[in-house]
Amino acid sequence: MRLLPVESQLDISRFRYRSDAKMALGSQLLQRYIATVLTGKKWTDIVISKTPQGKSFVANSPFDYNISHHSELVVVAVRPDGKQIGVDITSTVPPSNWTMNWMEGFSQIFSPFEYSQVTSDSTGNGEFFLRWALKESYSKAIGMGLNMDLAKLEFRNLDTARLMDAAKDKTGTDVVGAVAVQRGWSNSAQLWIDGVAQDRWHHEIFMLNNNHVIALATHKEGVNEVEQVRLRNLTVEELMSRALPFGPAVAMQPHSNPV
């Protein structure tokens, strides 16, 4: 904790559950690491701020980035050229306490076309979670988060069945010892807003072998639309190689474990 400024330590201490606090800590450390790499500044000289809508940014820096975490996985996406970028990671397995008609509660976030795809999905829940991640990645890229009408964001041309099949493939050792190994990739998704194709935007989906999906949204300009964005696992040793302490750690109250 002493690798973060006092205000960040206090923010983390307010989480009720230890798992949430750990992900928040990982998020803060990863953001600071990326900033030191791209700016050349010292760890303790990095200033991380937030827009009024809640999107994090590094003050006086030329790059844009976005971060997401779920189930002890933290992912960051970066555009060194400063073009807007958003990322979301989520599980493709619904919580065990969801009821049979749980999807009805989310109908308002989908267009009629999307909802028909979600409710007739032959892959189980793939359509729901892929579309949810795509919507989140775009809304985060433009700095709105969930503060917008997600039903206006309609994604077409998804390759859901192939992606879900790829995620189930447990063979191969393409990333030895990694927590998350990529099993499927697609850049076929197309965004439409109020019936108008958003041709300036590029979307990618990565399926991981542990029932997670990563969705990425960014401007097409400067992106190779044939090759996928490169995923890279960052080791603790790499992260710590740039870390510096701010001072003594703030005393923390014990966190609860989720029920």
Query: How does pLDDT run across 50-70, given as a tens digit for each residue?
Result: 998 889 999 889 999 999 998
> What pLDDT score does 259 carry?
40
Q: Is 162 a member of any domain?
A: yes
Report the CATH number that the domain containing residue 72 is assigned in CATH.
3.90.470.20
Q: Which of 215, 234, 217 is nearest to 70 (CA)?
A: 215
Q: Is 252 a member of any domain?
A: no
> What pLDDT score does 174 carry?
43
- Max CA distance (Å), the chain: 55
In angstroms, rounded to a whole number, what is the distance separating the alpha carbons of residues 211 and 162? 14
Q: Is 211 a member of any domain?
A: yes
In this predicted structure, which of 52-66, 112-126, 132-146 has the lowest mean pLDDT?
112-126
Q: Is 245 a member of any domain?
A: no
pTM of structure: 0.88
Q: What is the total count of domains within the chain?
A: 1
Q: Is 172 a member of any domain?
A: yes
Taking the CA atoms of 33, 39, 44 and 49 in sequence, report the sign of the dihedral they define. negative
Question: Cα angle vertex 64, ends 177, 153, to 5°?
Answer: 90
Helix (H) or strand (E) holding 58: strand 56-58
104 token code pair: 């009805």
Residue 185, CB-side half-sphere exposure with 13 Å CA sphere: 11
**How would residue 251 be classed by pLDDT, with cut points 50, 70 and 90?**
low
Q: Is 8 a member of any domain?
A: no
Q: Is 63 helix (H, G, I), strand (E, B) or coil?
A: coil
Q: Is 47 a member of any domain?
A: no
Q: Which of 23-32, 175-184, 239-248 has the highest mean pLDDT?
A: 23-32
Whether the Cβ atoms of residue 87 and residue 220 lie closer than 8 Å to each other: no
Give residue 170's domain range.
63-231
Tell me what the mean pLDDT of segment 128-155 comes to. 94
Q: Is 251 a member of any domain?
A: no
> What pLDDT score does 200 carry?
96
In this predicted structure, which of 16-25, 31-40, 151-160, 191-200 has the lowest mean pLDDT?
16-25
pLDDT at residue 188 greater than cutoff 90? yes
Q: Is 163 helix (H, G, I), strand (E, B) or coil?
A: helix
> What pLDDT score does 254 carry?
54
Tell me what the mean pLDDT of segment 162-178 comes to. 61
Q: Is 220 helix (H, G, I), strand (E, B) or coil?
A: coil
Lookup result for tokens 């439409």: 192
> Mean pLDDT over all residues of the chain?
86
